[in-house]
Structure 1
Amino acid sequence: MRLLLVNANTSQNITEKLAIEARLALPAGWQLSTATGSFGAAVIQTRRDCAIAEHACIEAVEAHLAEQADGCDAVVVGVSLDTGLWALREALNVPVVGLLEASLLTACMVGGRYGLVVMGPKTVPLYRELVERHGLATRLAGIEAIAADALAVHAAPEQFDAALIEACDRLVEGGAECVILVGAVVAGLHRRLQGRVAVPLLDGMACAVTQACGLARLELSKAGPTVPG
């Protein structure tokens, strides 16, 4: 079976980092392929970035599938703002899973309330809106932002360990029973930091790959809007 990982921004090095984490979570017998946006932001951080990247995400998936005779069995959108998620679900006949939605749903099964640690204070409103769009705001204990943007964290993630841990601790003090490390640039950091935080740390890529492959194995028919009778 085949999983397609699409990165809606233009950073190939981030795609490669996500692919490493995706392969760690892939079930036996699955193959991974990747696609990266050809235009737009290097790292998606604003509403404008999201609007452009949605087009890039759809185009990247369509171009990849046009070249692959066997298609794919599931898609993971490798962007923490779930850019292009709903459009791809409408267009494709296979499961499509986003990093944030997968993390939120997993968090709801792990504990009663969850918290988010995000990159950069200016992204907080975007994530709050997205949590509400996913219908999971009532379980949100809080959002903490570290004072660094995604590019800085990607360049030297180990320099931000202390800031990430402090943010997690504040969320735990506020009632979070698990914490999601949000952002493609922090993929895999949960393994290094877990022993220093009192609650489970969730990684978006691990959650998304697990859910996407599980949905594919269920072989469900395509969901669609209900038409009033």
Structure 2
Amino acid sequence: MRLLLVNANTSRNITEHLAAEARLSLPAGWQLNTATGAFGAAVIQSRRDCAVAEHACIEAVEARMADCDAVVVGVSLDTGLWALRQTLAVPVVGLLEASLLTACLVGGRYGLVVMGRQTVPLYRELVVRHGQAARLAGIEAIAAGAPEVYAAPEQFESTLADAANRLVAGGAESVILVGAVVAGMHRRLQPRVAVPLLDGMACAVTQACGLAGLALPKPGAGSYRLS
């Protein structure tokens, strides 16, 4: 079985980082392949970035679509997710989507820790689009953007833990660390937070491979049918 991990931005080093984390959750018998966007932003952080990256994501996957049994969209803004879900006959799962659904299984209300205050409206809208707004306890944004965090993740560990704990104090029963650049950091931070910390890559790989195992048919009606 083959899982395709697509990074919709152009940063191959982030693709490699995500792939290393994905392999930690990959079931036995699965092979991981990767694809990276050929154009657009190095790190997606705005509405314009998302619009361009959606095209890049679709092109990157379509070039490899005969080569996979499931797809993980390795972007925390789930860029291209819905278009790919219509286009492909295999399961397609996004990082934020998988985290939100997992949060519903481990507790009641959940919180998000995101990179950069300018991204808060985008994530809030995305939570609504995924139908999970009623369980959102809050969003904490650290001042640094994704590029700064990726360049020196150790410097931001206390900041991330403090943000997670503020969400817990506000009623969150699980906390999602949002962003491809923080993939894997939940393992180091978990001892400092009293509720489960959820990692988008671990959640997405587990769900994508599980869905492939269900072997569900492609919808023949509705908006996700092949056209």
Tell me the TM-score normalized by structure 2. 0.97
Q: Which of 100, 117, 122 is residue 121 of structure 1 equivalent to?
A: 117
Please give the root-mean-square deviation of Cα atoms over the aligned residues, in Å: 1.0
Gaps of 5+ in 1: none
Equivalent-residue separation in structure 1 for 2:6 and 2:135 (angstroms): 28
Equivalence for 1:34: 34
Report the identity percentage. 81
User: Where do 4+ consecutive residues of structure 1 move more than 4 Å?
Assistant: none
- 1:222 shift after superposition: 1.1
Instruction: Give the AA of the match of 1:78.
Output: G
Aligned mates of 2:173, 2:78 — CA distance in 1: 23
Shift of 1:28: 0.3
Q: CA deviation at 1:226?
A: 3.8
Unaligned regions of 5+ residues in structure 2, if any?
none
Q: Counterpart in 2 of 1:211?
A: 207
Q: What is the match of residue 133 of structure 1? A: 129
- After TM superposition, the structure 1 = structure 2 runs for residues 164-183 of structure 1, keeping only pairs within 5 Å, are 164-183=160-179
1:93 aligns with 2:89: yes
CA distance in 2, matches of 1:71, 1:197: 40
- The range that moved more, 205-214 or 55-64, is 55-64
Aligned to 2:98: 102
Q: Which residue identity does 2:39 align to in structure 1?
A: F
Matched, 1:150 2:146: yes
Give me the whole-angstrom Cα distance separating, in 2, the residues matched to 1:145 and 1:79. 17
Please show how residues 72-83 of structure 1 align to structure 2 within 5 Å: 72-83=68-79
How many residue pairs get aligned? The number is 223
- Look up the equivalent residue of 1:33 and give its one-letter code: N
Q: What is the deviation of 1:145?
A: 0.3
Q: Which moved more, 1:217-226 or 1:174-183?
A: 217-226
Deviations 1:170-220 (A, max 9, x none): 100100000000000000000000001111000000000000000000000
Instruction: For 1:28 and 1:129, locate their aligned partners in 2 and report how far apart those are by CA, in whole Å.
Output: 36
Determine helix, strand or coil for the equivalent of 2:104.
helix
Deviations 1:71-119 (A, max 9, x none): 2100000000000000000000000000000000000000000000000
**Whole-Å Cα distance in 2 between the matches of residues 172 and 105 of structure 1?**
18
Q: Deviations over 1:136-157 (max 9, x none)?
A: 0000000000010000000000
| Counterpart AA for 1:142 | G
1:188 to 181, 184, 191: 184
CA distance in 1, matches of 2:220, 2:47: 27
| Separation in structure 2 between the aligned mates of residue 161 and residue 186 of structure 1, nearest angstrom | 10
